[in-house]
Amino acid sequence: MPTKSLFTPPWWAANPHIQTILPFIFKVAKPDIFRQRQELPDGDFIDLDWSGTPQNGEPILVISHGLEGSTESHYARRMLVAAKQEKLCSVVHHHRSCSGEPNRLARSYHSGDFNDLAFTLQQLKTYYPDSPLFAVGYSLGGNVLAKYQGTTQNDSLLDRAVVISAPLTLSACAKKLEKGFSKIYQTHLISRLQKKMSEKLDNNDLVAQMPLSKAELKQLKTFYQFDDKVTAPLHGFNGVEDYYLRSSALGLLKHISKPTLIIHAKDDPFMTEAVIPTQDELSTSIRYELHDNGGHVGFIDGGWPWKPSYYLEKRVLTFLLAKQPETLQGDNQ
């Protein structure tokens, strides 16, 4: 069973859409960062945004953002600020094409691709071999992080990890976003994905590798359609169902060997109960915390609508920086 909830929203933020949308509107100021470009083995690149200067022997926190996120995302900004206050060096690992500049290849990133994250972690371990490595992944980035943890098991380079609002069962989440108010989020994100794909269709070096035309791209209205016609063929999957099945992290949770905290909200407008693991699906290295409220990467716990305060950063840092690993799944309430 999940651990007893430690999070309670204020009366004015009990609604899941307020929890999800308000943080997007009232972002904290972004701390000073410096950018490092990382060349990838396949000729592409990703950008790392650093807050603080890494020193061998000092811990480093890697932030993996969600779909179409970046350092500009409200949760990434707050995590960078909170880490700085703890004198913890942190770095945002951008997925391909998410740092403000198009990536070079026809392919991009997807919910199950942890190879770029693994590359970043290996680079960090090479240059800072004595530094403990922590990671926090949000939404899509949380599923990526969970897949990395479950696939690498004892070989994970992370000392501890936190997974937040992750779509651990992709097919169910795609269907949820086709219904009710959740369609608003789908429309917003699909439009951003279409814009990036349209730019690649304008690139003479890439257009021949693209799996559809601009006219066909404009017809895609749902994640299911987009993933079937774009994500799956661009990344070597045999259609959308194959992509969702092979990229969902839920079935890998039982293989995670390094201390990992997973946080979900029951009222997450991006999710259904299909993302909630059973006790048998959790390894003893996982602490699973399921909250009644919180929305999608929200978890406003106080303040006022124009200046909310948040639960996530406090919880993440408490877990990552504890002198001894917290009691994990075995003692969950």
Active site residues: 139, 268, 296
Q: Are 46 and 120 in contact (CB under 8 A)?
A: yes
- Cα–Cα distance between 95 and 167 in angstroms, integer? 17
- Cα–Cα distance between 73 and 17 in angstroms, integer? 17
- Cα–Cα distance between 24 and 308 in angstroms, integer? 11
Q: Which two tokens stand for residue 235?
A: 């990344």
Q: Are strands 89-93 and 160-164 parallel, antiparallel or unpaired?
A: unpaired
**Angstrom distances, CA of residue 172 to CA of 60, 176, 243, 244, 271:** 34, 6, 13, 9, 7
Q: Are 88 and 317 in contact (CB under 8 A)?
A: yes
161 closest CA partner among 194, 138, 129, 131: 138
Non-local (6+) Cβ contacts of 231 within 8 A are 110, 237, 240, 243
* Concatenated DSSP letters of 39-62: E-TTS-EEEEEEES---TTS-EEE
Non-local (6+) Cβ contacts of 200 within 8 A are 102, 106, 206, 207, 210
Q: Are 180 and 161 in contact (CB under 8 A)?
A: no
Residue 61 pairs in a beta bridge with 90, 134
